[in-house]
Amino acid sequence: MKLLSIDTSTQACSAALFIDGEIHQRFEITPKAHTKLLLPMVDSLLKEADIKLTQLDALAFGCGPGSFTGLRIATGVVQGLAFGADLPVVPVSTLAALAQQYSTMALSFVAMDARIGEVFWGVYERNVEGVVEIIGEEVVAHVNDLIFPLRHAAGIGSGWAVYENELSAHTQGWVLEIEHDVLPQASTIATLGVHGFHQGRVVCAEDAQPVYLRDKVAQTEIERKNAKLNAENTR
């Protein structure tokens, strides 16, 4: 299996190449240089492995949630590469990547800071293969509105640095370890991408889209306003 992965969902920029179980990565924390560094990282990895893009089986990318601009960059790059080489794409959640890489426990409460008192939130559990799987769904929510299973877990992500007091109080002592100074990495995106590929979770280039989560919230607000207007109009 040969797979190239990229991630620019946060201030970190990274690319990784998975070849038959071995992973090589380029990683740099560079908040405003993603567009300059990403493709050179990809080229460097391919040249080092003496392999062409068309010889890969698939591509993977951190599809979000995360920085709006960063997600657009990764989406644009992976679509361009996939179109040019006629390759399938595996979208990988950045929350899943954080749980997979940084949690030592079976269950993880992943919270990325989404500002204005909110976090991008996902509850992940490792399966028998050691791969994290979502419980419920990923959401963007206020720190006081989170829903989670009452079981011991790890707290992962930047949200635990910004809202540690609120989250710790809300999770009522169920969180036994916290890792908040962490960022998604393409190497883990590659690992989850390979797993997703074998599970059939692939899309064509044009269907490789970012996941913002806030879109769902915006749509909900629109639906509420429409429902209110409809109710008023029927009076």
Q: 208: Cβ–Cβ under 8 A, 6 or more apart, which residues?
A: 61, 63, 75, 78, 79, 82, 89, 91
pLDDT at 215: 62
**56 exposed, middle or buried (CB, 10 Å; 0-12, 13-18, 19+)?**
buried
The pLDDT assigned to 234 comes to 37
Enter the tokens of residue 125.
């559990």
Which one-letter amino acid corresponds to residue 76? G
- pLDDT at position 228 is 38
**C-alpha dist (Å) from residue 232 to 79, 120, 219, 222, 228:** 44, 34, 20, 15, 6
- What is the distance between the alpha carbons of residues 53 and 173, in angstroms, rounded to a whole number? 48
Identity at 39, one-letter amino acid code: L
Q: Cα 122 to the chain's mean position, in Å? A: 10
**Using N-to-C axis directions, what is the helix angle for 186-198 and 94-102, rounded to 10°?**
110
The tokens for 212 are: 């913002």
Record the pTM: 0.90
**What number does CATH give the domain 2-94+184-212?**
3.30.420.40
Phi-psi group of 218: left, alpha or beta (phi > 0 → left; psi -120 to 50 → alpha; rest → beta)? alpha
Phi, psi of 90 (to 5 degrees): -110, 110
pLDDT at 31: 85
Side chain identity, residue 182: V
Please give the CATH architecture assigned to the domain spanning 102-179. 2-Layer Sandwich (3.30)
Regions in the chain scoring below 70 on pLDDT:
215-235
- CATH 3.30.420.40 residue ranges of the chain are 2-94+184-212, 102-179
